[in-house]
Amino acid sequence: MEAATEFVVESPDVIYSPDTIEAQYEYRTTSVSREGGILKVHPTSTRFTFRTARQVPRLGVMLVGWGGNNGSTLTAAVLANRLRLSWPTRTGRKEANYYGSLTQAGTVSLGLDAEGKEVFVPFSSLLPMVAPDDLVFDGWDISSLNLAEAMRRAQVLDWGLQEQLWPHMEAMRPRPSVYIPEFIAANQSARADNVIPGTRAQQLEQIRRDIRDFRSSAGLDKVIVLWTANTERFCEVIPGLNDTAENLLRTIQLGLEVSPSTLFAVASILEGCAFLNGSPQNTLVPGALELAWQRRVFVGGDDFKSGQTKVKSVLVDFLIGSGLKTMSIVSYNHLGNNDGQNLSAPPQFRSKEVSKSSVVDDMVHSNPVLYSPGEQPDHCVVIKYVPYVGDSKRALDEYTSELMLGGTNTLVLHNTCEDSLLAAPIMLDLALLTELCQRVSFCTDIDPDPQSFHPVLSLLGFLFKAPLAPPGSPVVNALFRQRSCIENILRACVGLPPQNHMLLEHKMERPGLKRVGPLATASPVLCKKGSVPTAPNGCTGDANGHSQAEAPQMPTT
């Protein structure tokens, strides 16, 4: 079906004004209490008023690690789309697109039309969002190569596309960055020819000046900063050093231990710019989170969820959700890009291993029938550097689950993925969704003062391997729950009910829902042989090769 691009919700609960979309929304939940061995479940309801500013800003994105594979690929992708480029390949011409982006290539179902067919619209049309072609890029890198040279070094894009992009990327040059050798692998030192000198405090000030300079020279309304530089080693959280905002700022002033990524996070927050961490290390130490809270600036992380982990967060959800007891998950990766080389050093690998390892926790905890308290599947992650495969990462996974009566089910997957072509659309979604969230405010019937989302923007969990959540909030890893969260919150902002997939109207003996169009007038037996109306689930009268029989007459009393 052709995707419509615009829609209007006609409801007394939704008001469109020139500046805002205001929607009333009944948030229905259930609270559960335990009394004397019995669970008591209470349906609850809170009325929300969502307000979304319609004016889309001119948005700039600053990438830390701009000259890396991900940074150069994202910049190239946006330029290729903006310029509507096409290029020859051995299988024919290819055209620029945004495949892999939830906002640009994903759709949502609005409901059923008069013929009972589902109507899908692009995800990006749910609410006014910045168009990716309009994004303006800038950034930092410890390597001084311009973006055209960086694109060539990355070896990600077809040669014909590189040739066309070259003149557009040649003038883009990363700003000098903060290089602290002990945080990334020693094998990266040869790249570091573009560094900010001085003390930590001076480096922080330079980053802040860079953000301000970009904002004013490019005439931007907003800037978002995204860390896509090398994976760093973990930073120890030490009381007095980085445990509070005050201590972290003092640590920077005194030149004590702080990672480059935390320095960038602090600079962004102080400049009022959202900061997103695409790598696994613990950039957002407690002091940085507290600073984000104090300044009410969005932060999100950690580690883009692009390949193996994404599959895992679907597959384990499917296995455990189906009642199979997954007992071991073994994941081997090999890759040959610079990320792989950096991860070949043990401290940096350790960061990645930690971020990859907790991805099934919520699914395991969700099923106390299969797992007793504290029980976990064995989970092992191995990453090897194999230069020849370049950016074309291989992920080999084995999932072993227990079946009924002592049976075993072993699933083996081999996934070859173009690492940076998976990461770039995720980076795009992160920037666009974060910006959108900055324009949404809401109040509730019990707290009428307008508020924003919590600065730890957990709504972005779909896009991160180890999603950050506000203190005390559950961490959700299951991919489709994460997607539903984004979709349903955006639907709520235009007064639409959550997507529930019940399709109750097709599960009834008698069609009791009031409908417009042919189905409303159809007889209780919907799929008669011969004249078969198309049902909203795509049913044509045949189900899996069986033509659907007339419904039996139900006894009447």
Residues that bind ligand NAD (CB under 6 A): 64-65, 67-71, 140-143, 177-179, 184, 191, 228-231, 260, 278-279, 303-304, 306-307, 337-339, 342, 419-420, 422-423
Of 228 and 242, nearer to ligand NAD (C-beta) is: 228
**Cα separations (Å) of 22 from 52, 376, 422?**
7, 45, 35
Of 299 and 492, nearer to ligand NAD (C-beta) is: 299
The 3-class SS string of 304-335 reads: ECCCHHHHHHHHHHHHHHCCCEEEEEEEEEEE
Give the nearest residue (CB) to ligand NAD: 68
Write down the least CB distance from residue 299 to ligand NAD, Å. Answer: 17
Of 108 and 151, nearer to ligand NAD (C-beta) is: 151
Write down the least CB distance from residue 301 to ligand NAD, Å. Answer: 11
| Three-state secondary-structure class, residue 356 | helix
Write down the least CB distance from residue 141 to ligand NAD, Å. Answer: 4
Burial of 228 (0-12, 13-18, 19+ CB in 10 A): buried
Q: How many degrees, rounded to 5, is the angle at CA 300 between CA 295 and CA 303?
A: 150
Of 233 and 491, nearer to ligand NAD (C-beta) is: 233
Pairing mode of beta strands 136-140, 38-53: unpaired
Question: What gap in Å lies between CA 411 and CA 398, rounded to an integer?
Answer: 6
Orientation of helix 308-321 relative to helix 479-492, angle to 10°: 90
Write down the least CB distance from residue 199 to ligand NAD, Å. Answer: 16
Q: Is 352 a catalytic residue?
A: yes
Task: Fill in the amino acid letter for 534.
Answer: T
Residues 210, 303, 339, 419: which is the catalytic one? 303
Write down the least CB distance from residue 42 to ligand NAD, Å. Answer: 41
Residues 138, 352, 356, 429: which is the catalytic one? 352
**Cα separations (Å) of 222 from 81, 128, 331, 381?**
22, 16, 40, 38
Question: What gap in Å lies between CA 452 and CA 148, rounded to an integer?
Answer: 39
Exposure string of 396-417, with b = 16+ CB inside 10 Å and e = fewer, is: bbebbbeeeeeeeeeeeeeeeb
Of residues 66, 62, 67, 64, the one with CA closest to residue 150: 67
Of 258 and 291, nearer to ligand NAD (C-beta) is: 258
H helices of 155-274, in order, are 159-169, 200-217, 245-254, 260-270
Residues 222, 305, 310, 465: which is the catalytic one? 465
Write down the least CB distance from residue 282 to ligand NAD, Å. Answer: 13
Q: Is 356 a catalytic residue?
A: no
Question: What gap in Å lies between CA 461 and CA 98, rounded to an integer?
Answer: 20
Of 413 and 539, nearer to ligand NAD (C-beta) is: 413
Write down the least CB distance from residue 455 to ligand NAD, Å. Answer: 22
| Three-state secondary-structure class, residue 96 | coil
Q: Are the beta carbons of 86 and 93 closer than 8 angstroms?
A: yes
Beta-ladder partners of 413: 397
Question: What gap in Å lies between CA 333 and CA 419, rounded to an integer?
Answer: 12
Residues 302, 356, 393, 429: which is the catalytic one? 393
Torsion angle in degrees (nearest 10) through CA of 531, 534, 540, 541: -50
Write down the least CB distance from residue 59 to ligand NAD, Å. Answer: 21
Of 341 and 499, nearer to ligand NAD (C-beta) is: 341
Residue 229 Cα to chain centre, angstroms: 18
Of 230 and 438, nearer to ligand NAD (C-beta) is: 230
Question: What gap in Å lies between CA 387 and CA 344, rounded to an integer?
Answer: 11
Q: Is 429 a catalytic residue?
A: no
Which tokens go with 229? 């530089």
Q: Is 117 a catalytic residue?
A: no
Active centre residues (catalytic): 303, 352, 393, 465
